[in-house]
């Protein structure tokens, strides 16, 4: 048997051998992190990423602006502050449902029952308050429990048993409509009698509270930025130029500041003054912040993206894929309950058909905003922007007094357009493989 003894002589004779110079002779190769360079470098880096197909929600923002300019020209009422507040309230329910769906779309699944889940939860809520005289807080907690239970049921069937989520949630979409009928009765309609719930969509904060909200948002944005910088400095890696953070925070301050200012003006068309930021805005901002924090900064969030991108790679990396999937469905149903409460607040009543038609608009909003149905790509903020695009179509066409058929046609067209942009940008990103 041959003995593996190192004979250097034999090795050096072969010229075809792969050899390496000792590392001390090598000039130290610097591998970047994408954080180096001036503001200008960062900006051109961003542009080249966009050109490479990583467009995020840029098309949706563009679409929102184009539609807004169009409607503003067609109808002078569109740009009034009353309509602006209206738009926020119109978008609220859809936005929340769309954010819910992001959690399952990210792992390349779908929850067709999210809409009826929100309806069931709202039904449970009004039933408990109106018929069984529960405290409204207890009733809300119970409806959240019901929602999360539905989510874990879906998760069980999809992740543990392996039934396609499309089928499971289609079944629940039908089944939960039955549950709604059983709970609320055929043609049953329950008024929402809880003022706290009604005020989410119908009342506004005092003007000073709006400014406080602005200060808090700006402080949090700046604080998170500084926290990141401190941690990066401690780890010994480069930071982006400070100017970028200031520009970012400044943009948030100005943008939100204008919104707060406009909403703090009296927007009433009658004698009684209406002013202030609607409660739905701070509530949505808090949920957006917490959700984004979870997705961007926790291991769970990272694993969610990994499972969406390549489940097999995630499994081999030791990620508990089943658990991640179940949690994603639970998160989706949890936020669906929030959307159900928003909807109940806006309409003022709950019936057996609540939430039924909403889910496809929610998916549409997420896709329009730039969340990829193929999984692994998208953020909660994309869903928010997408929801505004859908809502502005609804709002603007409504003001023009066009028949509702036009509304559906335009929304459908926008959705197909958005999905096309997604597919093309994926192709572009894929073609990057050819570059070495």
Partner 1 sequence: MTIPADQIPVIELTGVTKSFGPVDVLKGVSLAAYAGKVTALVGDNGAGKSTLIKGLAGVQAYDGGVVKFNGEVVTLHSPRDASSLGIEVVYQDLALCENLDIVQNMFLGREETGLGTLEEGVMEREAAETLQSLSVRTVKSVRQKVSSLSGGQRQTVAIARSVLKKAKVVILDEPTAALGVAQTEQVLHLVRRLADSGVAVIIISHNLVDVFQVADYISVLYLGQMVANLEIGETNNSDIIGYITGSKAFEGATA
Stretch that binds partner 1, among 5-13, 66-74, 175-183, 396-404 (CB under 8 A): 5-13
The CB-side HSE value for 415 (13 A sphere, CA atoms) comes to 17
Stretch that binds partner 1, among 29-37, 174-182, 335-343, 396-404 (CB under 8 A): 29-37
CB atoms within 10 A of CB 146: 19
Q: Give DSSP secondary structure letters for 222-288.
A: HHHHHHHHHHHHHHT-----HHHHHHHHHHHHHHHHHHHHHHHS---SSSS---S-BTHHHHHHHHH
Considering the rule CB under 8 A, would residue 25 count as an interface residue with partner 1? no
What is the distance between the alpha carbons of residues 349 and 336, in angstroms, rounded to a whole number? 17
What is the distance between the alpha carbons of residues 325 and 307, in angstroms, rounded to a whole number? 8
Considering the rule CB under 8 A, would residue 11 count as an interface residue with partner 1? yes
Q: Which of 309, 346, 347, 353 binds partner 1 (CB under 8 A)?
A: 309
Q: End-to-end CA distance of the chain, in Å?
A: 44
Stretch that binds partner 1, among 16-24, 145-153, 277-285, 324-332 (CB under 8 A): 16-24
Cβ pair 304, 89 in contact under 8 A: no
Considering the rule CB under 8 A, would residue 380 count as an interface residue with partner 1? no
If the CB atoms of residues 343 and 422 are measured against partner 1, the closer one turns out to be 422
| Closest distance to partner 1 from the beta carbon of 370 (Å) | 13
Considering the rule CB under 8 A, would residue 24 count as an interface residue with partner 1? no
Q: Which of 5, 161, 269, 271 binds partner 1 (CB under 8 A)?
A: 5
If the CB atoms of residues 4 and 187 are measured against partner 1, the closer one turns out to be 4
Considering the rule CB under 8 A, would residue 308 count as an interface residue with partner 1? yes
If the CB atoms of residues 91 and 380 are measured against partner 1, the closer one turns out to be 380
Local structure of 274: helix, strand or coil:
coil
If the CB atoms of residues 411 and 425 are measured against partner 1, the closer one turns out to be 425
Chain-centroid distance, C-alpha 124: 26
Residue 361 makes CB contacts below 8 A (sequence gap 6+) with 94, 97, 98, 390, 411
If the CB atoms of residues 260 and 324 are measured against partner 1, the closer one turns out to be 324
Question: How many residues make contact with partner 1 (CB under 8 A)?
Answer: 63
Q: Which of 24, 76, 162, 234 binds partner 1 (CB under 8 A)?
A: 234
Alpha-carbon torsion, ordered 91, 380, 320, 159, to 10 deg: 30
Strand partners, 189: 351
What is the distance between the alpha carbons of residues 360 and 372, in angstroms, rounded to a whole number? 15
Is the Cα torsion angle 408, 378, 247, 95 positive or negative in sign?
Answer: positive
Q: Which of residues 272-301 bind partner 1 (CB under 8 A)?
A: 293, 297-299
If the CB atoms of residues 164 and 432 are measured against partner 1, the closer one turns out to be 432
Local structure of 204: helix, strand or coil:
strand
Considering the rule CB under 8 A, would residue 310 count as an interface residue with partner 1? yes
What is the distance between the alpha carbons of residues 341 and 27, in angstroms, rounded to a whole number? 62
Cβ pair 366, 414 in contact under 8 A: no
Q: Which of 24, 29, 132, 405 binds partner 1 (CB under 8 A)?
A: 29
If the CB atoms of residues 244 and 283 are measured against partner 1, the closer one turns out to be 244
What is the distance between the alpha carbons of residues 350 and 345, in angstroms, rounded to a whole number? 9
| Closest distance to partner 1 from the beta carbon of 325 (Å) | 15
Considering the rule CB under 8 A, would residue 149 count as an interface residue with partner 1? no
Residues at the interface with partner 1 (CB under 8 A): 1-7, 10-11, 14, 16-20, 23, 26, 28-35, 52, 54, 228, 231-237, 293, 297-299, 302-303, 305-306, 308-310, 312-314, 316-319, 375-377, 429-430, 432-436
């Amino acid at each position: 048997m041959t003995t593996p003894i190192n004979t250097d002589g034999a090795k050096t004779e072969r010229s075809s051998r792969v050899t390496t110079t000792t590392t001390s002779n090598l000039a130290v190769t610097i591998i970047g992190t994408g954080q180096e360079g001036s503001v200008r470098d960062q900006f051109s880096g961003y542009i080249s990423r966009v050109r490479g197909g990583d467009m995020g929600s840029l098309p949706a923002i563009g679409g929102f602006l184009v539609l807004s300019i169009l409607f503003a020209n067609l109808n002078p009422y569109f740009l009034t502050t009353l309509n602006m507040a209206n738009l926020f309230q119109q978008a609220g329910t859809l936005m929340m449902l769309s954010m819910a769906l992001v959690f399952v779309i990210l792992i390349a699944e779908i929850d067709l029952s999210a809409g009826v889940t929100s309806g069931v939860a709202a039904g449970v809520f009004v039933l408990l308050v109106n018929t069984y005289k529960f405290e409204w807080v207890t009733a809300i907690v119970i409806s959240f429990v019901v929602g999360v239970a539905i989510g874990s049921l879906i998760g069980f069937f999809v992740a543990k048993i392996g039934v396609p989520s499309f089928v499971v949630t289609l079944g629940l979409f039908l089944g939960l409509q039955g549950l709604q009928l059983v709970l609320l009765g055929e043609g049953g309609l329950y008024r929402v009698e809880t003022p706290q719930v009604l005020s989410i969509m119908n009342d506004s904060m005092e003007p000073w509270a709006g400014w406080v909200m602005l200060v808090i948002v700006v402080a949090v944005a700046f604080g998170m930025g500084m926290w990141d910088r401190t941690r990066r400095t401690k780890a010994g890696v480069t930071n982006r130029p400070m100017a970028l953070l200031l520009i970012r925070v400044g943009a948030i301050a100005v943008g939100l500041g204008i919104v707060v200012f406009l909403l703090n003006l009296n927007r009433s068309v009658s004698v009684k003054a209406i002013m202030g930021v609607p409660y739905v805005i701070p509530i949505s901002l808090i949920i957006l912040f917490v959700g984004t924090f979870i997705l961007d900064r926790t291991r769970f969030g990272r694993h969610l993206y990994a499972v969406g991108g390549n489940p097999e790679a995630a499994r081999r990396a030791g990620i508990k894929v089943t658990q991640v999937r179940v949690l994603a469905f639970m998160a989706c149903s949890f936020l669906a309950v929030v959307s159900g409460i928003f909807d109940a607040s806006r309409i003022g009543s709950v019936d057996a058909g609540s939430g039924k038609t909403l889910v496809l608009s929610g998916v549409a909003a997420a896709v329009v905003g730039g969340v990829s149905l193929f999984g692994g790509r998208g953020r909660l903020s994309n869903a928010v922007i997408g929801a505004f695009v859908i809502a502005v179509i609804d709002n603007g066409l409504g003001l023009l007094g066009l028949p509702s058929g036009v509304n559906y046609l335009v929304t459908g067209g926008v959705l197909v357009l958005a999905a096309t942009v997604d597919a093309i940008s994926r192709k572009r990103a894929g073609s990057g493989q050819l570059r070495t």
